[in-house]
Amino acid sequence: MSQKLITNFRCKMNKKKNVGFIVWLLSAFLIFTFGCSKKAIYHSNAFTLPELHFTNATIIDVVSAVNLAVAKASNGSVTQAVFFDKTPADIVAYPSDPILKTDMDILIGDFRKDETNWMNRGACGFETFRYTRTFQCSLDCEFSTLADWAQLNCEVKPDAIYIRRKPAHLECRSYKITSGLKQVAEDLKKQNQVRVGTEPVTSAFIDVAKVYLWSIDVPTGTNEMTGEFRYASVFKYLPDKSVLLVIETPEAHATAMKNLKEKSFWESF
């Protein structure tokens, strides 16, 4: 890909992050202004906490600090107000053909290795993501805002707040690469439009199927982030079998199948 195309693509990614940040600020304002005025069902909101300010703190450190503050404010009656589940996403393989199982196992192994890399870098979706904010409203509101920004799952229950990594469930599925999709790949190659770091068929599949797990947000500064790519741990193209293996969420797979069928690029095994 030409340098101009790479630069344009990165600019688009940065614009996307800037828009995301603005949306996050707006959502935080709305939660604080309107959501926190409602009677909260979360029982730890009954305790008066000191001002909690976090600067570049990991999510797990934020959780620990809040639990300590609640334990002190409640005189020990509540020792854990927030739970964080660090369980990695489960990955279920659905080989359309038994001969694909070995390659699926390899791809899943690559994903697990790469997962450690992103966790160590504090990427979104992990407890190592770093957060800067002064808590200004109820804990359920604050952790809902935090979860939106850090791309985590958050569930507020009467007894506690439960947070976990996101996504929680993934599937490894196989897609037959049709002659039509191969032609799209060839066209991308001729037009020098293949994504940097991947090959034409995978790039064409991304364009048509509209899957997104290949992009992951990593921090670049205080509450700032940018998108990076993990093609090799999400896709595995088997040219001799005309098959592409893909790791995605169940919802994304359903969307991919729908989009491929609508564009006549779907072929059953």
Same domain (yes/no): 151, 208: no
Q: Which two tokens stand for residue 2?
A: 């030409």
Same domain (yes/no): 113, 60: no
* pLDDT at residue 136, rounded to an integer: 87
Residue 173's DSSP bridge partners are: 94, 246
Q: Which two tokens stand for residue 92?
A: 């279920």
- Domain for residue 185, yes or no? yes
Same domain (yes/no): 77, 206: no
Same domain (yes/no): 144, 257: no
- Domain for residue 9, yes or no? no
Same domain (yes/no): 133, 241: no
Note whether 144 and 30 are within 8 A (CB): no
Note whether 87 and 79 are within 8 A (CB): no
Same domain (yes/no): 70, 150: yes
First to last CA, the chain: 33
Same domain (yes/no): 59, 109: no
CATH number of the domain where residue 48 is located: 3.55.50.30
- Domain for residue 267, yes or no? no
Domain stops at, among 164, 188, 215: 164
- Domain for residue 254, yes or no? yes
Same domain (yes/no): 107, 206: yes
Domain stops at, among 164, 182, 215: 164
- Domain for residue 158, yes or no? yes
- Domain for residue 60, yes or no? yes
What pTM was computed for the model?
0.81
Same domain (yes/no): 56, 116: no
From the DSSP assignment, how many helices (H) and strands (E) are in the chain? 8, 11
Task: Identify the domain containing residue 157 by its residue range.
Answer: 16-86+127-164
Same domain (yes/no): 104, 148: no
* Per-residue tens of pLDDT for the chain, all 269 residues: 443 333 343 444 444 445 454 544 555 444 444 443 333 445 667 788 999 999 999 999 999 999 999 999 999 999 999 999 999 999 999 987 899 999 999 999 999 999 999 999 999 999 999 999 999 888 999 999 999 999 999 999 989 999 999 999 999 999 999 999 999 999 999 999 999 999 999 999 999 999 999 999 999 988 889 999 999 999 999 999 999 999 999 999 999 999 999 999 998 88
* pLDDT at residue 162, rounded to an integer: 97
Same domain (yes/no): 141, 201: no
Please, how many CA atoms are within 13 Å of residue 54, restricted to the half-sphere of its CB? Answer: 23
* pLDDT at residue 42, rounded to an integer: 59
Domain stops at, among 106, 141, 164: 164
d(CA 164, CA 159): 16
- Domain for residue 51, yes or no? yes
* pLDDT at residue 137, rounded to an integer: 86
* pLDDT at residue 96, rounded to an integer: 79
The sign of the CA dihedral 222, 223, 226, 227 is positive
What's the number of domains the chain is made of? 2
Note whether 80 and 159 are within 8 A (CB): no
Same domain (yes/no): 110, 184: yes
The sign of the CA dihedral 173, 174, 180, 181 is positive
185 residue type, one letter: A
* pLDDT at residue 44, rounded to an integer: 67
- Domain for residue 268, yes or no? no
Closest C-alpha among 257, 42, 15 to residue 156 = 42
Q: What is the DSSP letter of 87?
A: P
